[in-house]
Chain A
Amino acid sequence: MSPVARVQSWLDERFGWAELIAPLKHKTVPHHKLSYWYFLGGITLFLFVIQVTTGILLLLYYRPSANEAFESVQYISTQVRFGWLVRSIHSWSANLMIFTAFAHMFSVLFLRAYRKPRELTWLSGALLLFLALGFGFSGYLLPWNTLAFFATKVGTEVAGQVPVIGPWVMMFLRGGPDVTGATLTRFFGFHVAVLPGITTVLLGLHLALVQRFGISVPPRVENQWECRLNERQEMKFFPNFLLRELMAWYTALAALAVLAALFPWGLGTKADPFAPAPAGIKPEWYFLFAFQTLKLIPAKVLSIDGEVLGVLAFGAAGALWLILPLVEPKRRAGGYRAVMAFGIVAVTYIASMTVYGYLAK
């Protein structure tokens, strides 16, 4: 008996290993011309694993205090062997992960995979995306450089605009009335403990739901298959789909390596709370559409503060987005068209506002 087979039989005798992995052996993935979109969730998961790994590595040298944070990141980038690479990969992978998460979400929307019974899968996924944005926002401050300092000042100030609870939320986020070393300590705690804890639970739920319901087949393809039964095609998950997924991961990794090696993430200058904000200051690209919108809203709209209006509008849109599968009109056959239209408007709005935000002075 080979060593692998012996380990397998040892596990089998104790845990019923063969029974445990049986579903994996029989698991299949629908195979059609839109199957490529199925890879996006897996790529996002892969990038998340990279984030956890490189994040743990950064924790070995990072120091979360206003006096030492900038210097410790500088130390990682200049003194520690491959430190620049680890940090660069962490930053680039964070950005790619948010991009693939968005792409995954819109592909799920347009392939209509959020339909019954997968409403909770959508909800958990959307919450995971919000958590990813939280990771981005909290992690951005950690190097304690000028850009991060002002991004956090503005970002927490925006949170403070929410009526009633806003001022309290802002105090809670900042650990005081201003962005200081106390904010850095808090954001560090959110970034490495609170958010990872919640994410682990939600991610487990999300993956369990995907496993429970299998992969959704787009209604259009499903209809074709129902007309012509012999066109129905499925691919074994193991090894066929997994090997393809692995190829997708390698491609993502290659893109990541190129970006991290050729465009190492900069550090900027150390934050100085008494220095003026530098010209042309902008948030990370995934907050840019919201930032640009807030810039465009007039100071007063019908005697309501422009900022307050913007924040409320984004809050409402985000909440609607979360429960989208539950509010889809079901009375008419084409009720889903409202959701599709909403999706197209959202994707167009986000894309155009992001570009506008980049070009705007």
Chain B
Amino acid sequence: MPTEQAVRVTEPTGKKSIIPSSRRTVLKTFLGGGIVASLGSFLYPVLRYLVPPAETNLGVDSVVAATVNELRPNSAKIFRFGSRPALLIRTAEGEYQAMSATCTHLSCTVQYRKDTQQIWCACHNGIYDLNGKNLSGPPPRPLEKYQVHIQGDEIQVMRA
């Protein structure tokens, strides 16, 4: 434990007046600069680490969404388009429509409603028509439309 007796405190008290202030400034700059530079070298890898690597399977351009006999008129299904959900609708008239199922408001997944024959987002009551156009509620933009091709037995959906 530190005692009350007179102790000799080693350096640098008393030396202060010996070191010229310009030299002290240089030393302080080196010390501070060194610390800042090393903090930077720690921070850079950490910041790069924090950014997740890009997913590799995002670039899907075409998938088989369903088979011809799968959907009755006035019904729909959600299918995987790359890593995101998409919506395939067979209208009451028997036509096929495909679009992104991600609501343009806050990214909930939308659904087809048989009773109103519209696309509905349950999160904030957003409503789109069968072409994906936003009709009412908070959605700011239409849903992204995809092209539908029927090849033999398969219903193929691709990016427009």
A residues neighboring B (CB under 8 Å): 28, 31, 57, 60-61, 79-83, 85-86, 213-214, 229-230, 232-236, 240, 250
Contact = CB atoms under 8 A, between A and B. Distances in A.
Interface string B1-39: 111011111111100000000000000000000000010
Contacts of B12: 240
Interface stretch (B49-57, B58-66, B119-127, B141-149): B49-57
Nearest to A257: B41
Contact of B53 (A28, A57, A80, A86): A80
A81 B48 contact: yes
Contacts of A214: 1-2
Interface residues of B, number: 21
Interface in B67-97: none
Contacts of A80: 49, 52-53
A80 B38 CA distance: 22
B49 A57 contact: yes
Nearest to B45: A82
Contacts of A61: 52
A125 to B, nearest CB: 18
B10 A235 contact: yes
Contact of B5 (A31, A86, A229, A250): A229
Nearest to B11: A240
Interface of B: 1-3, 5-13, 38, 45-46, 48-53
B49 A86 contact: yes
B9 A28 contact: yes
A60 B9 contact: no
A83 B7 contact: no
A31 B50 contact: no
B53 A213 contact: no
Contact of A232 (B5, B46, B51): B5
21 contacts: A28-B2, A31-B10, A57-B46, A60-B50, A61-B52, A80-B49, A80-B53, A81-B48, A81-B53, A82-B45, A82-B48, A85-B45, A229-B5, A233-B7, A233-B9, A233-B10, A235-B10, A235-B11, A236-B13, A240-B10, A240-B12
Given A85-B45, A86-B45, A229-B5, A79 B11 contact: no
A236 B9 contact: yes
| Interface of A, helix, strand, loop or mixed by DSSP | mixed
B47 to A, nearest CB: 9
A233 B2 CA distance: 10
A242 to B, nearest CB: 12
Contacts of A234: 2, 7-10
Contact of B7 (A57, A213, A232, A240): A232
A323 to B, nearest CB: 24
A31 B5 CA distance: 15
A86 B3 CA distance: 45
Given A82-B45, A235-B9, 18 more contacts: A28-B9, A31-B10, A57-B46, A61-B52, A79-B53, A81-B51, A82-B49, A83-B49, A86-B45, A214-B2, A229-B5, A232-B7, A233-B7, A233-B8, A235-B11, A236-B9, A240-B10, A250-B38
Contacts of B11: 235, 240
B34 to A, nearest CB: 9
A57 B13 CA distance: 42
A186 to B, nearest CB: 27
Nearest to B54: A79
Contacts of A250: 38
Nearest to B56: A79
Contacts of B52: 61, 80
Contacts of B2: 28, 214, 234
Sorted nearest first, the 9 A-B pairs with minimum C-beta distance are: A82-B45, A81-B48, A214-B1, A79-B53, A82-B49, A234-B7, A233-B8, A232-B7, A28-B2
Contacts of A85: 45
Contacts of A79: 53
A240 B49 CA distance: 35
